[in-house]
Structure 1
């Protein structure tokens, strides 16, 4: 059987390649610098590959609204009233058929530079994922790169009606757009005109979006009449569906291997069923990953929507964050997989991404070492993909105040900025880690060790068995701070123990007779537990491990992976 567990490295090119070590708050592109496609060199990709990475998710690729012009390329200034930050949000798309000009050394050759990056990634035996943003687009959207036979979004709309299946946007007839005083106060001399007003991206059907709304975006119309009992109008196929299919094919033809679909649950599952089916007829191996937060929608978006994977944010991520912070018991991890009702293999697991707070921030763990057992668990709990966010393995804290983004524990996606800890690994483009501290080198090596497990047979395609139900005697097993489970296939059987506590633990881990039978270990027989990293070997009879447990010492914030032999 082929080993095929995806391991994704999320990388934000604007930050990843920026070598400026002294950016200023609200700094311009020229002042603060900006990473480029060409900064993601073969050497960088080779080092990323050492983390057992199979896919690189390049975030912020498709052209989005930015403030500063590129007059030499015919790209005008953007209106800062409807752009968040100087660099803009990568989720306010300005042209679905182009790439962000900020990421190019030669703006007029920007698409070729991205094509070269795709080719470099493939040459380093990794696949390429980009964002697909289907729910909304920038208020100043205009495509100058689209094929000539395709009309632009809104170009053929009847703006005199609020809803029509032939329209790409939702309109508020006879109303002007009124941005709030809080938004306009930052740019008192600038005006923005929109008539009639369009609905805002976060389903706000008002002409007066507020600062906490996605006011810089416009909601796209997929055939749901939100203001008339959410009635569905999918036959004939709405115009927006057809436009989006063309866009997905355009990028797939360039060699993109997968799409992380932004806020997929805000787009009807019927569209996904249709479009993913259509795309996979031509590109059968292409991946579709859904950003979905409502667990009640998981089954529909997998079985009807045909997604390959969904975010596991409100389940495992939120639980692990609580366990790391001492706010939840490790026992609650069991509830995560139980609540999925067999959908585990479809869940994308992570501890960081561009939306969430950095592990090393004071909002999360402060000390990134505390999260290592959680990362091991996240990567190895089931067959679904694991993900790492660039800078996580160096302990980025995201605590710099950069401009639009404050000191909130997130690396900004709105400003021209840098990743200071990542820069130590990048070492001015050498990607040799020479500037990392000993602690950071240890952290990076820990991530390499953790992620190497993902390609072991038992983890990549084996089954899962939770041991927590058998280990309920608190005197023998601290189930508030420790989680234990098995991963097994015909070729390999693993016992995994994770300690989330700041104190070492002396445990007796029981493996029930039912589990021994299920993983096809004969009884009675002597079992040998070989710990893969520390090389310690423990021996116990199959009857003993079921009745009394295997005696294990585990250090603070440690994980142990034992291969079971007999």
Structure 2
């Protein structure tokens, strides 16, 4: 018999014993007594499962969110000397009703509860996932108080609870250990630190930068440009994952007819280079990025090998909501959309919606067909790209409007003129990517894309038809689009891609994600899924899971659906916007805590200060003109706030300003994703692709060095495993908490929080002055009772000395001494904080 003991929270002790026929689990908690309930939740891998457990007064109590997807919940209740055992199973896309457990042999004796689980009743899997905890349902109006969890990080208390870690039990007798601790989704308990690398721009050292310039004039980054020197430098900065943004083949104005890839109709283009989110072939990469375009996939595979050699992992885009109108895969033509929809028979274009169609088809009326794109009006170009093409032709031909592609071919420019029509949609039309059902989409629409059909009719709540497997209709067939998208994921996983950043994930039914991520993880257990998602988008598609739909009184957040589906993390735009409002008005630092969602979402959100959709920190027109100087303070908060991933956008580390008109990318404080361009500041770091920062200014070197220290620091235990304890709420009435004259309460410019890891006892106090102009004098940070208790100050003598040492500064790091009683009373005395200063104090008690 193999045995292992696990020490949980609140002095709970769990012993696992494995025989050839049974898994025996004994549970003892000091406060466990008759009348209380013990919950054993398992992931047996027989079903997709759910990370959100049922909630019910007097039974399961408040909601518990799990770090894995459970398909079996066992409840043992000792009452009046009798042991009752109940179960719920996740099947048919939902949790079953509570019933008496079958095959669950449990007993309670002398304060110890024992579960005897027959292995034959579990599954054929070589492992199962396990969390165990108790609840006292006499408290909190029968919603209960959770305590004694198998995860030490799960603090006792009332209300909804997120359990961040679990035990993976090895049922294979040859495994080295019976149980292995895991963090959410089988992770190795290390936060994802992601570098967003736009392949088109990252390695491009051409500094011509002509607005609307062609590839030949402005140049383009290549896969080979992401060389060993670049990857070594990024790994040294602390990054664990490289997001190769824009790697997939998109619609483009550059002509590769010689390899069977002609340029696209400019009416379909946003920028001559094209949008990286108008995918033309899900199974191919952009030929722009290859030294030999006909060998582009081979060069991409070599890049993946280089990334892995430097002990990092590679993410690529997965754009499920829409495709380029010109989508046509030559790698996998048998999986094309539309013509090979309906299980290969082709879409039925006579109807708007069918679950086996890949697209939504516009119905003929007085406005169409044909589809009329908003690129031309009265014969004149309207879109920036069509204007650029017309101007290019004017320059090349001296006013001649009819020009052969050969005349322009030497510069690989667009080979045709704009007319507002697309030859592929003259006899029919498809709904536009942003849910526009119109023969005449507007210039502000995603007119270059066609919306994909996942079996959900999005046209109004009265027509919210769900023709796919879900909790209400579990036996519906899998739609054709689901199957094709699974093949896309399978293809890239087989090539060595480690994960996917999923574009506009909230616009696709969460049931698809549940199914597709389960399929992907069956192939590669640790494959990463990052969801770009926004709960405030009216286009979001909530699921119909009866448990999740009832969260928050029926006002559930779509992020619950996506995280439950298996996403490693979802976007945290709320904290980003709360910080931006501090500078642009009318926000305060106190508002950061108001933006904090439920722990399940908070701890599994990816935080960023820039990405390709958001403005540059260093843009003079944004962040009140101080974003470049404020970036260390801003990112010290964002990157250190939770266990979730962080992301840095290429160029951010050297103060890329996103300045000027690039082409379709206007002077909008962003680096264009539509044009052939290079980043003027990042080029200085690239320094002829030596990636040694040889041309950076001292200020830029200092900024990049700061990011490197910060990103490496958040890999330490307090940030990897630890809880976040915000302190602004407890210091609002503290006049020494950075309060300036005529301010009430405190907390306008000062933000602070604790990060504490229970296992290692490592504790950090993060203190940030966000004020761009003034130092904050005589600052004191009060650690309130609950916070002090969480980090163990209640277990030391009042006069015990506490040393605070700054780990973030490289020159003359600050050290502060205080005592336990002072920290809890008047507050720990922090040195004067200069403007825009972040400090990461490690606490030694």
TM-score category, normalised to shorter length: over 0.9
- Structure 1 residue 340: Cα displacement: 2.9
Partner of 2:466: 232
Partner of 1:214: 446
SS at 2:436 equivalent: coil
Aligned ranges 1:244-323 → 2 under 5 Å = 244-294=485-535, 296-303=557-564, 305-313=565-573, 315-323=574-582
- Structure 1 residue 456: Cα displacement: 1.1
Query: What is the CA–CA distance in structure 2 between the aligned matches of 1:508 and 1:190, rounded to whole Å?
Result: 64
Query: What is the CA–CA distance in structure 2 between the aligned matches of 1:158 and 1:326, rounded to whole Å?
Result: 52
Query: Quick check: 1:489 aligned with 2:757?
Result: yes
- Structure 1 residue 279: Cα displacement: 1.0
Partner of 1:346: 604
**Conservation of the 8 A alpha-carbon contact between 1:34 and 1:417:** yes
Query: What is the CA–CA distance in structure 2 between the aligned matches of 1:545 and 1:11, rounded to whole Å?
Result: 43
**Conservation of the 8 A alpha-carbon contact between 1:3 and 1:455:** no
TM-score scaled by structure 1? 0.96
- Structure 1 residue 341: Cα displacement: 4.5
Q: Match for 2:298 among 99, 106, 112?
A: 112
- Structure 1 residue 149: Cα displacement: 5.3
SS at 1:298 equivalent: helix
Partner of 2:95: none
Partner of 1:178: 372
Aligned ranges 1:159-558 → 2 under 5 Å = 159-174=349-364, 175-180=369-374, 182=376, 185-186=380-381, 187=386, 189-191=417-419, 192-193=422-423, 194=425, 195-227=427-459, 229-234=463-468, 235-294=476-535, 296-303=557-564, 305-313=565-573, 315-325=574-584, 327-337=586-596, 339-365=597-623, 366-367=625-626, 368-473=628-733, 475-478=735-738, 479-490=747-758, 491=760, 492-501=762-771, 502-506=773-777, 507-521=779-793, 522-524=796-798, 525-532=800-807, 533=809, 534-552=812-830, 553-558=832-837
Query: What is the CA–CA distance in structure 2 between the aligned matches of 1:432 and 1:350, rounded to whole Å?
Result: 25
Query: What is the CA–CA distance in structure 2 between the aligned matches of 1:154 and 1:44, rounded to whole Å?
Result: 42
Query: What is the CA–CA distance in structure 2 between the aligned matches of 1:106 and 1:281, rounded to whole Å?
Result: 35
Query: What is the CA–CA distance in structure 2 between the aligned matches of 1:452 and 1:563, rounded to whole Å?
Result: 15
Query: What is the CA–CA distance in structure 1 between the aligned matches of 2:783 and 2:337, rounded to whole Å?
Result: 61
Query: What is the CA–CA distance in structure 2 between the aligned matches of 1:326 and 1:207, rounded to whole Å?
Result: 40
Which of 1 and 2 has higher RCO (CA within 8 Å, sep 6+)?
Answer: 1
- Structure 1 residue 346: Cα displacement: 0.7
- Structure 1 residue 362: Cα displacement: 2.1
- Structure 1 residue 336: Cα displacement: 1.8
- Structure 1 residue 326: Cα displacement: 5.2
Query: What is the CA–CA distance in structure 2 between the aligned matches of 1:540 and 1:152, rounded to whole Å?
Result: 66
Residue 551 to residue 393, structure 1, CA distance change in 2 (3 Å): same
For structure 1, the 5+ residue unaligned runs are none
For structure 2, the 5+ residue unaligned runs are 1-180, 182-187, 341-345, 391-416, 469-475, 537-556, 739-746
**Conservation of the 8 A alpha-carbon contact between 2:289 and 2:296:** yes
Of residues 89-98 and 451-460 in structure 1, the stretch that sits farther from structure 2 once superposed is: 451-460
Residues paired across the two proteins, number? 562
**Structure whose residues are more often strand by fraction:** 2
Q: Deviations over 1:347-379 (max 9, x none)?
A: 000000000000000232334121211101111
TM-score scaled by structure 2? 0.65
- Structure 1 residue 389: Cα displacement: 0.3
SS at 2:210 equivalent: coil
- Structure 1 residue 104: Cα displacement: 0.6
- Structure 1 residue 181: Cα displacement: 5.8
- Structure 1 residue 460: Cα displacement: 1.2
**Conservation of the 8 A alpha-carbon contact between 1:324 and 1:370:** no
- Structure 1 residue 514: Cα displacement: 2.5
Query: What is the CA–CA distance in structure 1 between the aligned matches of 2:375 and 2:306, rounded to whole Å?
Result: 47
Query: What is the CA–CA distance in structure 1 between the aligned matches of 2:244 and 2:676, rounded to whole Å?
Result: 17
Residue 519 to residue 158, structure 1, CA distance change in 2 (3 Å): same
Partner of 2:25: none
SS at 2:463 equivalent: coil
Aligned ranges 1:33-52 → 2 under 5 Å = 33-52=219-238
**Conservation of the 8 A alpha-carbon contact between 1:34 and 1:416:** yes
**Structure whose residues are more often helix by fraction:** 1
Query: What is the CA–CA distance in structure 2 between the aligned matches of 1:474 and 1:22, rounded to whole Å?
Result: 55
Residue 461 to residue 185, structure 1, CA distance change in 2 (3 Å): farther
- Structure 1 residue 530: Cα displacement: 1.8
**Conservation of the 8 A alpha-carbon contact between 1:369 and 1:443:** no
Residue 5 to residue 411, structure 1, CA distance change in 2 (3 Å): same
Of residues 362-371 and 82-91 in structure 1, the stretch that sits farther from structure 2 once superposed is: 362-371
SS at 1:529 equivalent: strand
SS at 2:797 equivalent: coil
Query: What is the CA–CA distance in structure 1 between the aligned matches of 2:582 and 2:236, rounded to whole Å?
Result: 29
Query: Quick check: 1:565 aligned with 2:844?
Result: yes
